[in-house]
């Protein structure tokens, strides 16, 4: 029997966003900048949808939502490449790691983005961000997006 209760427990404790990643390039490309001001954890998932080439995956933090003064926070060492449709890999960082890089770089880093490069410019994937440890949990951190 279905309950009329709509708990939204996870959706009030984490923020999930997804991106169709098709850069048409082999350059390391920012997926999308998100604000980490009210979160303590950041997770990136890359899911292969097209192609078979190797990837590089890292997380950078910046001083603005446009990626100004971007600094590398963590890089994924990928021993088994996600080189088939349906393969996926994860990478995460903590706000403490961002603060450490901010202290050594002298920049007030607040925004984060995954950076991905493909060995072949026709490859594609889906990238999912999960931001956790919110300062304020409330219904609606994760919401539907339909354009």
Residue ranges of the chain whose pLDDT lies below 50: none
Residue 48's pLDDT is 97
- In Å, what is the CA distance from 101 to each residue of 10, 14, 59, 109, 110? 30, 24, 12, 8, 11
Contact 38, 136 (CB under 8 A): yes
**pTM to 2 decimal places:** 0.91
Residue 11's pLDDT is 80
Residue 142's pLDDT is 73
């Amino acid at each position: 029997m279905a309950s009329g209760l709509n708990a939204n427990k996870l959706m009030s404790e984490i923020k999930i966003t997804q991106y169709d990643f098709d850069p048409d390039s082999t350059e390391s490309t920012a997926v999308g900048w998100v604000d980490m001001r009210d979160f303590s954890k950041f997770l990136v998932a890359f899911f292969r949808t097209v192609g078979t080439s190797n990837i590089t995956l890292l997380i950078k933090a910046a001083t603005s939502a446009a990626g100004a003064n971007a600094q590398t926070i963590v890089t994924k060492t990928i021993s088994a490449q996600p080189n088939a449709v349906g393969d996926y890999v994860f990478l995460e960082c903590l706000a403490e790691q961002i603060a450490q890089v901010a202290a050594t770089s002298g920049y007030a880093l607040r925004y984060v983005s995954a950076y991905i490069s493909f060995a072949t410019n026709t490859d594609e994937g889906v990238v999912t961000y999960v931001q956790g440890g919110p300062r304020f949990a409330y219904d609606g951190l994760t919401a539907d997006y339909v354009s």
